[in-house]
Amino acid sequence: MVGTEQAQAEHRAAQAAIAAAARGVTLRSVTKQYGAVTAVENINLEIAAGSYCCLLGPSGCGKTTTLRMIAGHEEISSGDVFIGDQRVNGLPAAQRNTAMVFQNYALFPHKTVWKNVEFGLKMRGIPAHERTERVDEMLDIVGLAQFADRRPHMLSGGQQQRVALARALVTRPQVLLLDEPLSALDESLRVKTRGELRKLQKQFGMTFIQVTHAQDEAFSLSDQIVVMDHGHIDQIGTPSAIFEEPASRFVAQFVGDNNLFDGRVLQGADQNLMAQIEVDGLGVFVGKGSSASVGVAATCCVRSDRLLLTPVNGTLPADYLNQVMARIISIEFTGYITRVSLMVEQTETEILYKARTTDWQTLALDEGEQVRLSWMPEHCSILLS
Q: Which has the closest alpha carbon to 247: 231, 268, 229?
A: 229
Cα 364–369–370 angle (5° rounding)?
Answer: 115
Is the residue at 155 inside a domain? Answer: no
Based on the domain organization, do 223 and 306 belong to the same domain? Answer: no
Q: What is the pLDDT of residue 331?
A: 97
Give the structural domain span for 377.
257-384
Same domain? For 324 and 215 the reply is: no
Tell me, yes or no, whether 20 lies in a domain. Answer: yes
Q: Are residues 309 and 230 in the same domain?
A: no
Tell which of 190, 218, 244 closes a domain: 244
What phi, psi does 177 have (nearest 5°)?
Answer: -110, 130
168, part of any domain: no
- Give every CB contact of residue 169 below 8 A, 6+ residues apart in sequence: 18, 99, 138, 142, 176, 200, 204, 206
pLDDT reported for residue 219: 95
Q: Is the dihedral of CA 41, 43, 49, 54 positive or negative?
A: negative
Q: What is the pLDDT of residue 181?
A: 85
- In order of 67, 135, 174, 256, 378, the CA distances from 30 in angstroms are 12, 36, 21, 29, 37
Residues with Cβ within 8 Å of 158's Cβ and at least 6 positions away in sequence, in order, are 185, 189, 192, 193, 196
* 181 within 8 A of 210, measured Cβ to Cβ: yes
- CATH number, domain at 262? 2.40.50.100
* Residues with pLDDT less than 70, the chain: 1-4, 6-8, 10-19
Give the CATH number for residue 209.
Answer: 3.40.50.300
- pLDDT (0 to 100) of residue 200: 84
92-143 tens-digit pLDDT: 998 999 999 888 888 999 999 999 999 989 988 999 999 999 999 889 888 8
The pLDDT score that the predictor gives to residue 10 is: 66
Q: How many domains does the chain have?
A: 2
Q: Are residues 177 and 280 in the same domain?
A: no
